[in-house]
Amino acid sequence: MPPYQEIILELTQREQYLSMLVKIQKSLLDSSLTDNWYDYILPILGQTSLSSRASFYKNHLSETGELLTSHLGEWCAPNISSVKDNPILHNMSYESFSPYWLEHLKKDSSLVVPTIATPQKERELLESLQVVSFMLLPLMVNQQLFGFISLSDCHEIRVWSNVEIDMLWAAIASVSIYLERIQAEIAFRAINEKLQRLANLDGLTRIANRRKFDQHLNQEWRHMERIQAPLALILCDIDYFKLYNDTKGHQAGDECLQQVAQTLDNLIRRSSDLVARYGGEEFAIILSATPINRALQIAQIMKNAIEILQIPHPASEVSSYVTVSMGVSSLIPSHELSPKTLVARADAALYRAKTAGRNQIAI
């Protein structure tokens, strides 16, 4: 081939691959790609490189810690059969199948091999997939081998130009950067969710705190107002808790609060309901779509469950064990009322239970 034709060919290839890079960058900017990015990227890589098949393999660990790889996605040229359902290509062991591939890929180096030059075991598999030659491109994410992309030719031994290899590496670098960004975003969201959970939890009892109670009450108030259903609130106070602390000590007091809190929380089944620490020894239970008679039943169940704990309380004036007083209120939210109305009514009911002798439920 005359030199000028080689230059024209190289420029044409470079233009095609630059167009490929632009398409890949545009696809990776689409935030909806997260899990299935390869469904968009593999066709671009396969078509531009004139490959027969473009495949993505993702690495993962077995239960014993062995590094495996699995075929997750592919693009096939016309008249090329799919291999995505081939069971051999799932949970494939590098060590037992091709330790050479792993060694090469971990060096962040591409691997261009004609099938005929591979060891017998690898060659038999590649021939069963109709692969005559292939290129493996490692996907490194945060300096770890995340997986690889395979570009296969099913017709002839492929000779890749330097331009093609350089441009494919640029494409792989874009994918690696994208995957690193996705991992960072996932980690950031996980940290934020954890911080959010911690911000809404009482540090001692590990149930919802007052901040979460206020948020949830307002949320359920709006919800119940829309559907015109009753919203119930139970306020629960441990009887003579100050005397319990004075006689048993603050550590025992903390343990008592934890036991009571977890007992109450374990009795809640619906995600719309909430048990929160409302104050020092006071707890609040929000019950959505719950009329007063059902709220009273739930309060009685909770009161009985705390008595079953049989936490000794030598200073109590109503029992030998820890008991609670409860105030229960339920109403259908409206524009004329507010969440404070529900709280005030439950608080007034709790006051009546305490002034009537404690260890009881009032409405």
Residues with a known catalytic role = 281
Q: Quick check: 212 and 276 in contact, CB under 8 A?
A: yes
Distances (CA, A) of 319 to 69, 82, 253, 324: 64, 75, 17, 10
Distance CA 73, CA 130 (A): 17
* Adjacency order of strands within the sheet including 133-141: 92-93, 67-76, 53-61, 144-153, 133-141, 111-114
Query: Residue 160: left (phi > 0), alpha (psi -120 to 50), or beta?
Result: beta
Dihedral of the alpha carbons of 11, 15, 16, 19, in degrees to the nearest 10:
170
Tokens of 276: 């929160």
Tokens of 283: 């707890």
Pairing of strands 53-61, 282-287: unpaired
Q: Which of 222, 211, 231 is nearest to 345 (CA)?
A: 231
Distance CA 48, CA 20 (A): 7
- The phi and psi torsions of 154 (rounded to 5 degrees) equal -100, 10
